[in-house]
Amino acid sequence: METSTTVPEAVAALHAGIGLLTDEVVHGLRAQLPSYAAVSADELRPRVAASLRNGLALVQRWSAEDHRSPQGARRGGRMYDIPATHLDEVTALTRSLPVEDIITAYRIGTDIVWRRFGEEMAVRHGTAEDLLPIAETLRAWADANTLHIVRSCRAGLQPRAVTATDHRRAALVRALLLGEARWDDPSLSGVAVDTGQPDGRPADDGRADGHADDGATDCAYDQNALRLPFRARLPGVPRPDPAPRVPAQSHSDSDDRALARTIDLLRPWLALDAAGKPLVTTVDGDVAGLLVGRPGGLCHGLVVGLGAPAPASGLAKEFTRATQALRAAVGSGLVGAFTRDELGLRATVVAMPDVGEQLVRLRLAPLAERGEDGAQLEEAAAAYLRQGLRLEAAARTLYVHPNTLRNRLRRFEEITGSSLRDPADLAEIWWALTHRLIHGPAS
């Protein structure tokens, strides 16, 4: 059975409205992907339009042939090919955008086009028999192209050996953040650091040859430049054990993966050196570095503590505040980018561990003597506070009957000498519990 003439008519209608379709796809990409939101719509529009024209031309070719099944579009595999120039452009994009986001963007665009194609077919009273072969073949084509893009990106992004300049850059950033920089160090007296992208657009990640010169001037830092220190961790990563700082040359595989992923997510806002390399390092298992501006979007894939913009002499103080913000956010189960001030009392718990220890001894220590039973009562009080003092909601989170929870809370009050109806006691219990979450069960 031949494809109905409604298919080429619908494709022609999309071609005629290619401008509006392009704008819709660009809006969808920038609304759903923070990395794309950092790229101007004007820069995205020609790339999206070219991709849409290629896809619509492909559907037009399919509709002009006899497709009794989706396999009819796979003859020789040539229908799945995309121009080499397009693959080169996608490979180049991975230098400024995460590969995962490029693949997601490809699928977002395909979904929007398919929805608009379905609307045009509905206007023309297209049938399921008209749509099914096109839908199946289009999805298969999209999957094949995604795989082709991933392979091409991997081939185009061979890992670069770590150089002495990379080590110097990491050591410089660490010294700035930890207040260990020597102001008579020649690397701190230059002005060779990139000024960044004030409009938030992704910056180039390297020179034309992809390699930095192995010279000390690449790591020079402008002491007067205002930068935001940050400390970041991937969600769900366990809190690093407090241990002596490791040298810049020591990185575990997990550190390297976390560093690469963090750079991908924060790339549009990272401060760069003269070679176009991001000013980042690792500190006790966390990724740390300098930004030219606050990250936009919701930063769903990262927990970031931020300091205020500061010159070189003030970076260590602001990095301490960024560290406190990160610890407070992680301890509270939050994801995103936060300053210490934005986290309010949670950050105060981080900054005042002595107060927390005192409140733990006052409000929670009596439970420790009762072992597992005491831990159960502490869990009951914590759930009750998390649910806004709503007994039934807290009972559901613990999978117990409300009466069971009511009994545990009564015993908690008796053992600790606290009242869950007294605002002052509630505040101290919350502080003690939050201290445990952030600083660990035994500080």
pLDDT tens per residue across span 51-81: 777 777 767 776 666 444 444 444 344 444 5
Q: How do strand 303-306 and strand 228-233 relate by DSSP bridges?
A: antiparallel
Averaged confidence pLDDT in the chain = 76
pLDDT band for 309, please (50, 70, 90 cuts): very high
Mean pLDDT, residues 154-179: 77
Q: Provide the β-strand partners of residue 280.
A: 289
Location of structure tokens 């690397």: 187
User: How many CB atoms are closer than 10 A to CB 151?
Assistant: 11
CA atoms of 227 and 352, how far apart (whole Å): 27
Q: Helix axis angle, 128-156 relative to 84-93, nearest 10°?
A: 60
Q: How far is CA 138 from CA 101, 245, 287, in A?
A: 20, 52, 41
Q: Tell me, what's the pLDDT at 442?
A: 62
CB 430 within 8 A of CB 398: no
CA atoms of 265 and 268, how far apart (whole Å): 8
- First CA to last CA across the chain, in angstroms? 74
Mean pLDDT, residues 321-344: 90
pLDDT band for 277, please (50, 70, 90 cuts): confident
pTM of the predicted structure, to 2 decimals: 0.55
Q: Tell me, what's the pLDDT at 307?
A: 94
Which residues in 280-308 are b (16+ Cβ under 10 Å) and which e? Answer: bbbbebbbbbbbbbebebebebbbbbbbe
Q: Tell me, what's the pLDDT at 151?
A: 59
Top-confidence residue, 17 or 412: 412
Per mean pLDDT, which range of 14-18, 53-57, 345-349, 370-374 is the poorest? 53-57
CA atoms of 293 and 373, how far apart (whole Å): 49
Q: Is residue 328's pLDDT more than 80?
A: yes
| Angle at the Cα of 160 from the Cα atoms of 159 and 165, rounded to 5 degrees | 150
Q: Tell me, what's the pLDDT at 153?
A: 56
Location of structure tokens 């230098």: 95
